[in-house]
Amino acid sequence: MKKSLLAAFVLSLLTLPAAAQNYPTKPVTVISTSSAGSPGDTVIRVMREAMMASLGQPLVIENRDSAGGTVAVTSVIDAAPDGYTLLSTGAGPIVYNPFLMASVTYKVDDLKPVVLLTKLPTVLIVNSKLGVKTFQELVALAKSKPGELRVGSAGNGTPTHLAAEMMMQVTGTEVLHIPYRGTPAAATAVLSNEVDMVFSSYGNVAQYISGGEVVPLVVNDTAPVKAMPQLPTAADVGYPNFIVNGWFGLFVPKDTPDDTVAKIAAAAAAAAGDEKVVETLEKLGFTVASTTPDEFKAFVKDDIDRWGAVIKAAGIEPQ
């Protein structure tokens, strides 16, 4: 009996590479933590055609954004590790939610990172009537008026809120946080002078910047926004660690074979090399990325460590 079990086990190991080599032989389901039409949904849909051309099979996208994307994450964790169920997600469900939501019991180790698809750099904008033209001037003003300047966000515990917490920590300033229901509402509040500033992706506020209604002070990344190359980076304004990137990537169940993971990553890399894909996403403010699974794993770990420290220092407790 033991010999037959061992033989079966050895046979299964021998057939794994062949199975991976033939992958995929049927449509692949992509479960997205993003709502339809949102930035994360846009990324996977723009890259979809090029990825399908590489894989030779349809990609079926299912949006499951309920409970902050945690339902989507859990469903992929529990899926068969055969490469036919992928998770498309941003940082929220993977990086922030385990620190902010008491109901979250999963960890990133319950998944296997595949590839970083895009980054979405954050810019800080202020009301043009505030009278500051640089980030350094804003810091000086905030230090002269502790707790008086107002920063809007998309809501408590959202990336834009945590960006404000990081700003206070790295600059030694104190500003008043005012949460709104979503980034568009917070950006509108800057226009009406309900708040003085807000963090946002460039695409969400580009029209306000071009109209002169707001002043962009910094892009919280290591590289400029291609649509606005003159905007200084975090390092340019003297705070190289003030990095606030949204990002979107693919994960699979943790026991998915590495050969299968490599095929998915290669399909994403092919999409990242498609000129039309890159042009479309860059116009929307995304930075197209293409990483190996190991590079993406290290990227996610660094993001978790960084934001975990910010959340702890801010005294934000899981709810």
pLDDT along the chain (319 residues), means of 10: 38 50 93 90 95 97 91 97 97 94 94 96 94 97 97 92 97 97 91 96 88 94 87 95 93 97 96 95 88 96 96 92
Strands 176-179 and 150-153: parallel
How high is the pLDDT of residue 39?
A: 87
How high is the pLDDT of residue 182?
A: 86
Q: Annotate 156-205 with three-state secondary structure.
A: CCCHHHHHHHHHHHHHCCCCEEEECCCHHHHHHHHHCCCCCEEEEEHHHH
- C-alpha separations of 194 from 46, 162, 187 in Å: 35, 20, 10
The terminus-to-terminus CA distance of the chain in angstroms comes to 52
Rounded CA-CA distance 34/203 in Å is 17
Rounded CA-CA distance 183/158 in Å is 9
Rounded CA-CA distance 89/98 in Å is 14
Domains of the chain, each with CATH number or no CATH? 27-119+245-314 (3.40.190.150), 121-219 (3.40.190.10)
Structure tokens at 212: 């002169």
How high is the pLDDT of residue 18?
A: 55
How high is the pLDDT of residue 17?
A: 55
Strands 59-63 and 214-219: unpaired
- Residues near 82 by beta carbon (within 8 Å), at least 6 away in sequence: 256, 260
How high is the pLDDT of residue 13?
A: 39
pTM metric for this prediction: 0.86
How high is the pLDDT of residue 199?
A: 96
How high is the pLDDT of residue 66?
A: 87
Residue among 204, 249, 228 nearest 43 (CA): 249
For 206-241, give one letter per residue: b (16+ CB within 10 A) or e. Answer: bebbeeebbbbbbbbbeeebeeeeebbbbeebebee
- Residues near 76 by beta carbon (within 8 Å), at least 6 away in sequence: 31, 85, 86, 87, 111, 251, 252, 253
* 8 A C-beta contact, residue 224 and residue 231: yes
Rounded CA-CA distance 202/283 in Å is 10
- C-alpha separations of 262 from 20, 77, 192, 259 in Å: 9, 19, 49, 5
For 281-301, give one letter per residue: b (16+ CB within 10 A) or e. Answer: beebbbbbbbbbbeebbebbe
DSSP state, residue 257: -
* 8 A C-beta contact, residue 256 and residue 81: yes
How high is the pLDDT of residue 8?
A: 42
Burial class of residue 161 in the structure, from the number of CB atoms within 10 Å of its CB (0-12 exposed, 13-18 middle, 19+ buried): buried
How high is the pLDDT of residue 19?
A: 55
Tallying the residues shown for the chain, one arrives at 319
